[in-house]
Each structure stands twice: as structure tokens, then as C-alpha cells.
Amino acid sequence: MANETGLENSVREHRVALGWSQEELAARAGISRAGLSAIEVGRLVPSVAASLAIASALGCRVEDLFRIAQGEGLSVDALAWLPPGEDEFRCHEVEIGGMRRLFPVEASPQGIIGHDGIVRSGQYRRTGMPEPEKTLIMATCDPAANLLGETLLRHSGVRLLSYRRSSRVALEMLRQGLVHVAGLHLAKATDPAVNASAVRSALGRGYTILRMANWEEGIAFQSGAEIPATVSKLRDKLRWVGREPGSGARQCLDELLEMQSPRSMMLAGDHQAVAAAVRNGWADAGICLKIVGAESSLKFRAVREEAYDVCFPTAFEHDPRIQALLQVSKSAGYRRLISELPGYDSKPMGELSRS
């Protein structure tokens, strides 16, 4: 049923989460069941007293339940980008830089995730109950981004949408205003200032850099395979799967092979795709993070330890979503969780610097 009031609400979602019937919530709030039903489906604007009573019964704030309907007028002009070759796709609604944008849903390590609306035949139609101001967009190749998302949602009610992109592409998306946060790992852990230099080069001044971890990157290969010890044999005897220029993994491979291209190399879009190519026998070896190789049942030879940072415009630092990210980076529980991942070191997590 269409919303007839111009007011959106999530009363039903809160009620169902508590396992209550309409009758039970109506009784607790002191209103009629018919009135509650009309409020839930958008036929009736509740009075201030009724709104306060419902929020009190549900144990939340009025603003958590009700908001002015927006976004129905969003068009495909609000798309952050257009998926190639697609005329029907799912979208998220996100506020970024004071504007509401539509972000196409992409494949996620979490499997199929929810959406806020659908673009079909050149028209956008909202189908969910989005909270654009509570959604944080990040571009990163960190395979543990879903753990960050779970923690943000649990502790702060912030939904994280993570788009898998290489370091340089993530920085470019941040420059274009398409994400709130960009992840990068272009620096060795012994010289983390290289990441700050990359941010200044790509974006200029006015950005804050937050250390999330140090991690191990190296060669993933099949159990039983022999990996040569010399650079020339590494370059000439192995079929490599690599990443595109501008990625941390490509930088690591170039360093390993002393800036000389391997005899044979296919390209993969992320760390997981590198591991899949090796596991399926399409390549002999590839550069990826230790955790990806380990959880793909591959052997791993470390090449270097890197500083993994995320950066955001300093102008965003008071945004509740960025504040939630900063708080999580300081939480003992999240730091412990990350430290338990193969190849991750969470001790430097939470360190801040400016570009």
C-alpha cells in the first residue's frame, strides 16, 4: 500500500523484532489496534502523544521510528555509476556530501545482501525502508570488511556498504565524492608514511588517515608446488595471477620481481579472485593477503608486512558514521577480533594522521 501521509515509519519492524503482535504494542502504548495498523501502513499520522507512547513502549526514540518521506523522487540521475549492460538492478540509498545518491548493489563476500530499491526501465522505485544518513560507503579490498560492518551495525546502528576496489581506485572514488571512506595498503609497515604520501598525491590536503591494521601479503600457491627462490625463476617459470596497476598486490609483485613483468600473467579483480585462480589451477601463484590464502587452503610465503589504512575527508570527522568508525577502531572487542585473523596485527589500529 502506498504511503498516504508523507511520513515514513519503522514501527512494524521494531514491533516484529520484539516478537509483539499489533494488539500487544497497541495495549502497551495505550492506543487502538486499528489506529496502530493505520500508522504502520502510512494511512495515519500519529499525534505527538501517540508517537511518544509508541516509542516509549518500544524502548527507542521517536526519531528512530518516524521520518519525513524522501527519496521517492530520486531518479537514475542520482546513480553514483551505471552498471555496464544492465537495465534492471538493485540499489542502496545513501546520503553523502549532503546529497542522496543511488549505489548499485554489487557482489559481496557476505553473499546476497538487501537493497533499498530497484531501477527498472530507466526508473527508480523504492521498495524498502532506507536510512541514508545511517549508511557508510567504503571502497576497500580488505576481505575482513564484513566484520567491520557487523561491528558497526551492532554497536552504532550504522550500515556499512563495502565496495571491493584496489587502493588507487578507492582513492579516486573518494576524490569524486562517491564514497565516505577509502582503504589503501601501498606502504610497508616499517614506512607507513607512504600511505599518507599516496593520499596527498591523489587527493591533496584535508584528509584524515586511520590505521586499521598491519597485515601480511605474499605468494599464494598450491600445496605440493615448488616455488623458486630466485627472481629470474619466479618470473619465468610460473604462471602468475596478478592485480591491476595501482593495487597494493601489484605493487608487492613488482617489488618481488624487481619491476620486471612475469612471462605469463592473468589479472584478477581482488584477493579472493587471485586465490580462486590458483586453487582452480588457472595459475601457479598469485599475490594476496595471508588470510585469503589460508582460508582458500593454499600455502603462503610472506613477501612483506603492509600498513592498511582508511582515509576520509577531515570535513566528515563529526559525521556520526565516521564517529562510529573511530569508536570501533578503539574498541577492545573489535581489536581482539581482528588480531585473531591470520596475518593481521591490530596493535596499531586507531592511530590517526592528516594528509
91 lies in the same domain as 109 = yes
167 lies in the same domain as 213 = yes
Residue 65 vs residues 40, 51, 169: alpha-carbon distances, Å: 10, 8, 37
Cα distance between residue 35 and residue 22, in whole Å? 10
Structural domain contains residue 12: yes
With a cut of 50, say whether residue 318 has pLDDT above it: yes
Residue 87 is predicted with a pLDDT of 81
With a cut of 90, say whether residue 261 has pLDDT above it: no
Structural domain contains residue 213: yes
Residue length of the chain: 355
Expressed as residue numbers, the domain containing 327 is 133-355
218 lies in the same domain as 282 = yes
Average pLDDT value for residue range 167-187: 96
Residue 68 is predicted with a pLDDT of 62
Q: Provide the 3-class DSSP secondary structure of residue 256.
A: helix
What mean pLDDT value characterizes the chain? 90
Give residue 126's pLDDT band: very low, low, confident or very high (50, 70, 90): confident
* Last residue within a domain, chosen from 30, 47, 68: 68
275 lies in the same domain as 254 = yes
Contact 346, 335 (CB under 8 A): yes
Residue 274 vs residues 29, 245, 246, 270, 345: alpha-carbon distances, Å: 55, 15, 16, 6, 22
Strands, E, within 133-284: which ranges? 135-140, 159-164, 181-188, 207-221, 239-242, 264-267
252 lies in the same domain as 200 = yes
pLDDT in tens, 41-71: 878 888 888 999 999 999 998 888 887 655 4
54 lies in the same domain as 154 = no
Structural domain contains residue 143: yes
Residue 67 is predicted with a pLDDT of 74
With a cut of 50, say whether residue 202 has pLDDT above it: yes
255 lies in the same domain as 351 = yes
With a cut of 80, say whether residue 86 has pLDDT above it: no
Residue 1 is predicted with a pLDDT of 39
- CATH code of the domain covering residue 213: 3.40.190.290
161 lies in the same domain as 256 = yes
Structural domain contains residue 288: yes
Residue 93 is predicted with a pLDDT of 94
Share of the chain above pLDDT 70, in %: 96
Contact 296, 286 (CB under 8 A): no
Evaluate the CA torsion angle 124, 126, 132, 134 in order and state its sign. negative
Contact 204, 354 (CB under 8 A): no
With a cut of 60, say whether residue 179 has pLDDT above it: yes
With a cut of 90, say whether residue 284 has pLDDT above it: yes
113 lies in the same domain as 201 = no
Residue with the bigger pLDDT between 38 and 182: it is 182
Say what the pTM is. 0.78
The answer to which of 26-35, 178-187, 220-229 has the lowest mean pLDDT is 220-229
Burial 183-205 (b: 16+ CB within 10 A, else e): bbbbbbbeebebbbebbeebbee
- From the CA atom positions of the chain, what is the Rg in Å? 24
Place of cell 492506543: 31
Evaluate the CA torsion angle 196, 198, 201, 203 in order and state its sign. negative
Give residue 313's pLDDT band: very low, low, confident or very high (50, 70, 90): very high
Q: What angle do CA 203, 204, 210 make, to 5 degrees?
A: 70
Q: Provide the 3-class DSSP secondary structure of residue 320.
A: helix
- CATH code of the domain covering residue 27: 1.10.260.40
Give residue 254's pLDDT band: very low, low, confident or very high (50, 70, 90): very high
Burial (CB < 10 A; 0-12, 13-18, 19+), residue 5, is middle
On the CB side of 30, CA atoms within 13 Å amount to: 8
14 lies in the same domain as 32 = yes
Structural domain contains residue 14: yes
* Last residue within a domain, chosen from 84, 107, 130: 130
Average pLDDT value for residue range 150-166: 95
Close Cβ partners of 235 (under 8 Å, ≥ 6 residues apart): 257, 260, 261, 262, 263
Give residue 2's pLDDT band: very low, low, confident or very high (50, 70, 90): very low
C-alpha cell at 279: 586453487
Contact 293, 225 (CB under 8 A): no
* Last residue within a domain, chosen from 68, 92, 111: 68
With a cut of 60, say whether residue 72 has pLDDT above it: no
Cα distance between residue 129 and residue 303, in whole Å? 46
Q: Please state the domain count of the chain.
A: 3
Residue 108 is predicted with a pLDDT of 75
pLDDT in tens, 88-112: 999 999 999 888 899 999 987 667 8
Structural domain contains residue 1: no
Structural domain contains residue 355: yes
Give residue 6's pLDDT band: very low, low, confident or very high (50, 70, 90): low
Cα distance between residue 83 and residue 105, in whole Å? 9
Q: Provide the 3-class DSSP secondary structure of residue 19.
A: coil
Query: In the beta sheet, which residues pair with residue 288?
Result: 218
Structural domain contains residue 2: no
Q: Provide the 3-class DSSP secondary structure of residue 276.
A: helix
147 lies in the same domain as 244 = yes
Cα distance between residue 303 and residue 45, in whole Å? 62
38 lies in the same domain as 100 = no
With a cut of 90, say whether residue 330 has pLDDT above it: yes
Residue 69 is predicted with a pLDDT of 58
